[in-house]
Amino acid sequence: MRLPFLFVTRARGSVLRLQLRQFLSPDPALWKPQSSTALRFTSTQLSKEDMSFYITTPIFYVNASPHLGHLYSAVIADCLHRYKVLQGFNSKFATGTDEHGLKIQQAAKAAGKDPLTFCTDVSARFKHLFSSCSISYTDYIRTTQQRHRQAVEHFWSVLQNKGLIYKGSYEGWYSTQDESFLTPSQVSDALDSSGKEIKVSLESGHKVEWMKEENYMFRLSAFRTHLLDWLRGNPRAVQPERFHQAVLQWLQEDLPDLSVSRQRSRLQWGIPVPGDAEQTIYVWLDALVNYLTVAGYPDKHDRWWHVAHHVIGKDILKFHAIYWPAFLLGAGLPLPQVVHVHSHWTVEGRKMSKSLGNVVDPLERSQMFTTDGIRYFLLRQGVPDSDCDYTDDKVIKVLNAELTDSLGGLLNRCTAPALNPAQIYPSFCPQSFPREQGGRAVVEDYHMLDAVKGLPAVVEVHYESLDVYKALEAISACVRQTNGFVQRHTPWKLDMRDSKDQRWLDTIIHVSLECLRIYGTLLQPIVPEISDRLLSRLSVQPSERSWAALNFLPRYGGMDCPFEGRALGSDSGVLFSRLESQKGDKQKPKKAKKSANLK
Ligand code: MSP
């Protein structure tokens, strides 16, 4: 992938570059290395100010209904937000809709609606999807809101007053679908559905058109060195690494100035350029400022803005890792701490698109597989580094194996009246499971304790870097080990009339419930409803579900366990109902059947 090339025909002389230095005195504090505070300090050591966190999703175009890829961006951000809250952070989580621009204007026209009514309808569909899928945003922004218009106008004026915006002209390829400018080398020949010759973007496959018009230009070229410094000084600014490298690579190429407005005669649906009613602000500049709007820009954004983290898909990397930081540097604002990039979901190896008719409807899937089911699948199988292929069958296999059989089976075993007739969190017996060998525990049991003890730290590292699939892999491996522990000691064969056997049985259940408590706590950002059911069954109160409360198996270390002897919570049924294969009837939801081993 290469950066689009933009043509600038005015005001690019060396005199101008010299003047630029004066207002572009880059403040190193704007991109000084940021560390992951949570990894270095415990929550209690951080001040209130340091305990702020701000996470955003991209704002979604309203020209079409939401699809699975959109939900994926939102679920990743939701996971990070929930995890930060568990760690004691005051986290702001923003999502919303991107409502201006030519393609929205055209989509509204095609739907026979006025643009705002059209946007309001589709925006409500995104909101409904997110509420249905437990996306716990704290702010939902629409770029047609007044607060946003004020922020964009202010931001524009700051850039203009600093001499970073000038009147110029643009001539080149433009993709309306991507709202993006392209160089000739980023364009190729193709045929449209009627066999007509057209030009398309090599990257997205979307049709491009030649555009020539007078508009305002942003001095992007002046920021190349600053952007390189920022990226080199912050090797974790864009994650995963391969995307960081991609941005560095783009910056090796020419970085021409950027057209940041369109003639009003061509684009009416957008924010007019302050002081020039003949021009409309470029939709990407408008859209990117949404992150500042939510932070409270221009009056009171400091608290949130210096802890901003963006989650984005790989197709919009250039906008977030080049244009956006350049705009921010120009406006004298700090840069985001991290741009987290994820790859795409494909269907049978092909990009999801309306024209191919292979778009996966996230709302329908959340009804088929439950909200937590689809969340678990997306985060378990989604690998930020590379594209993943979606099939309903894969969802069913993963959920049945890991949620129904492994996790649900373990909970069922440890709470079943046959093994736990008193329905309590039984006592741990140090003689049966001593710190040194000599009791009834075997070497694999000690390995399991080590793995579960170390699990929160492993999960923390993977949640921080948004390699959530690795966190879930680690949790899944531990759940298997705990199932192995129960299986190995066949507690159902112990003689409850024998006091030694009874103590050992209690210990097996106590240890297993402690493992389950850790898994339930760690899984809250992924599957909030399932975790709640699991923890409620174990009688773990809401105040005992934070990261700080994890403290695995204190009795093994000779400390008190607040859960020991507590009555279990009521049995609310299976943790996750077994799903039936959808073969031959892919789109039709089937009724979930109860798992045999969870009865
Ligand atoms: N409106 C812009 C973003 C502006 S942010 C200032 C936009 N909107 S979008 O609706 O097209 O895409 C929103 C998000 O969905 C992006 O992160 C994009 O990568 C993601 N996805 C779109 N298709 C996807 C898949 N097939 N798979 C995974 N995510 C994908 O871009």
Stretch 236-258: mean pLDDT:
95
Is residue 581 a part of any domain in this protein?
no
Q: How many whole angstroms separate alpha carbon 115 and alpha carbon 121?
A: 10
Q: Whose CA is nearest to atom 29 of ligand 1?
A: 69
Q: Which of 47-51, 132-136, 366-370, 510-514 has the lowest mean pLDDT?
A: 47-51
pLDDT digits (tens, 9 = 90+) for 388-419: 999 999 999 999 999 999 999 999 999 999 99
pLDDT for 5 beyond 50: no
Strand, helix or coil at 263? strand
Q: Which tokens hold the place of 176? A: 């309306």
Q: How many whole angstroms separate alpha carbon 350 and alpha carbon 495?
A: 58
pLDDT confidence tier of residue 42, bands split at 50, 70 and 90: very low
pLDDT for 597 beyond 60: no
Q: Which of 80-89, 343-352, 451-460, 515-524 has the lowest mean pLDDT?
A: 343-352
Instruction: Tell me if 61 CB under 6 Å of ligand 1.
Output: yes
Residue bearing tokens 């699939």: 469
Is residue 375 a part of any domain in this protein?
no
Pairing of strands 180-182, 165-175: antiparallel
Q: How many whole angstroms separate alpha carbon 537 and alpha carbon 573?
A: 10
Stretch 92-121: mean pLDDT:
96
Stretch 250-274: mean pLDDT:
94
Domain identity same for 419 and 329? no
Contact 419, 506 (CB under 8 A): no
**φ, ψ for residue 338 (rounded to 5)?**
-145, 140
The candidate with the shortest Cα–Cα distance to 428, out of 511, 515, 484, 512, is 511
67 Cα to the center of ligand 1, angstroms: 10
- For residue 232, give the DSSP letter: H
pLDDT for 168 beyond 50: yes
pLDDT for 302 beyond 70: yes
Q: How many domains does the chain have?
A: 2
Domain identity same for 160 and 255? yes
Domain that includes residue 435, residue range: 405-567
Q: Whose CA is nearest to atom 12 of ligand 1?
A: 60
Instruction: Tell me if 104 CB under 6 Å of ligand 1.
Output: no
351 Cα to the center of ligand 1, angstroms: 12
Higher model confidence: residue 50 or residue 305? 305
In this prediction, residue 264 carries a pLDDT of 94
Instruction: Tell me if 515 CB under 6 Å of ligand 1.
Output: no
**φ, ψ for residue 418 (rounded to 5)?**
-60, -40
Higher model confidence: residue 173 or residue 141? 141
In this prediction, residue 316 carries a pLDDT of 96
Q: How many whole angstroms separate alpha carbon 185 and alpha carbon 2?
A: 9
pLDDT confidence tier of residue 380, bands split at 50, 70 and 90: very high
| Residues sharing a CB contact under 8 Å with residue 56, sequence separation 6 or more, in sequence order | 77, 93, 94, 95, 290, 291, 294, 308, 309, 310, 311
Is residue 21 a part of any domain in this protein?
no
Q: Which tokens hold the place of 398? A: 């993963």
Stretch 23-46: mean pLDDT:
42
Domain identity same for 229 and 87? yes
Domain identity same for 541 and 437? yes
Tell whether the torsion through CA atoms of 104, 107, 108 and 109 is positive or negative. Answer: positive
Q: Whose CA is nearest to atom 22 of ligand 1?
A: 69
Residue bearing tokens 């999801």: 352
In this prediction, residue 39 carries a pLDDT of 34
Q: Where are the beta strands (DSSP E) in 28-131?
A: 52-56, 60-61, 90-98
370 Cα to the center of ligand 1, angstroms: 23
Please report which helix (H) or strand (E) contains residue 331, including its range. helix 324-331
Strand, helix or coil at 566? coil
Is residue 390 a part of any domain in this protein?
no
Instruction: Tell me if 547 CB under 6 Å of ligand 1.
Output: no
Tell whether the torsion through CA atoms of 372, 377, 380 and 386 is positive or negative. Answer: negative
Is residue 592 a part of any domain in this protein?
no
In this prediction, residue 49 carries a pLDDT of 62
Q: Which of 84-98, 204-218, 323-337, 558-572 has the lowest mean pLDDT?
A: 204-218
Domain identity same for 319 and 464? no
Tell whether the torsion through CA atoms of 326, 332, 338 and 342 is positive or negative. Answer: negative
Domain identity same for 445 and 560? yes
Contact 530, 403 (CB under 8 A): yes
Average pLDDT over the chain, rounded to whole? 89
pLDDT for 17 beyond 80: no
pLDDT confidence tier of residue 376, bands split at 50, 70 and 90: very high
Is residue 80 a part of any domain in this protein?
yes
Stretch 224-253: mean pLDDT:
97
**Domain CATH number, residue 280:** 3.40.50.620
65 Cα to the center of ligand 1, angstroms: 12
Q: Last residue of a domain, which of 342, 367, 397?
A: 342
In this prediction, residue 352 carries a pLDDT of 84
Q: Last residue of a domain, which of 342, 361, 395?
A: 342
CA geometry: angle at 304 spanning 154 and 131, to 5°? Answer: 100
pLDDT digits (tens, 9 = 90+) for 191-223: 888 888 999 998 888 899 998 889 999 999 999
pLDDT digits (tens, 9 = 90+) for 577-596: 999 986 644 444 444 333 32
Domain identity same for 241 and 96? yes
Instruction: Tell me if 313 CB under 6 Å of ligand 1.
Output: yes
Stretch 469-482: mean pLDDT:
98
The model's pTM is: 0.90
- For residue 45, give the DSSP letter: G
Is residue 148 a part of any domain in this protein?
yes
Helix orientation angle between 392-399 and 362-369, rounded to the nearest 10 degrees: 30
Q: How many whole angstroms separate alpha carbon 420 and alpha carbon 516?
A: 15
173 Cα to the center of ligand 1, angstroms: 21
CA 595 to mean position of chain CA atoms: 31
Stretch 545-557: mean pLDDT:
97
pLDDT confidence tier of residue 177, bands split at 50, 70 and 90: confident
Instruction: Tell me if 206 CB under 6 Å of ligand 1.
Output: no
In this prediction, residue 184 carries a pLDDT of 85
In this prediction, residue 8 carries a pLDDT of 29
Return the exposure string of 339-359: e unless at least 16 CB atoms fall within 10 Å of the residue's CB, then b.
bbbbbbbebeeeebeeeeeeb
Residue bearing tokens 């706590």: 521
- Region of 316 (left: φ > 0; alpha: ψ -120 to 50; beta: rest) is alpha
Domain identity same for 459 and 543? yes
Domain identity same for 337 and 415? no
Domain identity same for 315 and 418? no
The candidate with the shortest Cα–Cα distance to 479, out of 369, 575, 564, is 575
Task: Among 71, 316, 348, name the best residue to mutate to test ligand 1's pocket (greatest count of ligand atoms within 8 A of Cβ).
Answer: 316
Q: How many whole angstroms separate alpha carbon 294 and alpha carbon 275?
A: 25
Domain identity same for 330 and 431? no
Q: Report the atom number in ligand 1 closest to the C-alpha of 312.
A: 17
pLDDT confidence tier of residue 45, bands split at 50, 70 and 90: low
Question: 90: which strand partners?
Answer: 52
- 3-state SS track over 436-497: CCCCCCCHHHHHHHHHHHHHHHHHHHHHHCCCHHHHHHHHHHHHHHHHHHHHHHCHHHCCCC
pLDDT for 110 beyond 50: yes
Contact 439, 510 (CB under 8 A): no
Is residue 197 a part of any domain in this protein?
no
342 Cα to the center of ligand 1, angstroms: 10
In this prediction, residue 172 carries a pLDDT of 86
**Domain CATH number, residue 483:** 1.10.730.10
Q: How many whole angstroms separate alpha carbon 62 and alpha carbon 430?
A: 60
| N residues, the chain | 599
576 Cα to the center of ligand 1, angstroms: 30
- For residue 257, give the DSSP letter: -
Q: Last residue of a domain, which of 312, 342, 372?
A: 342
521 Cα to the center of ligand 1, angstroms: 30
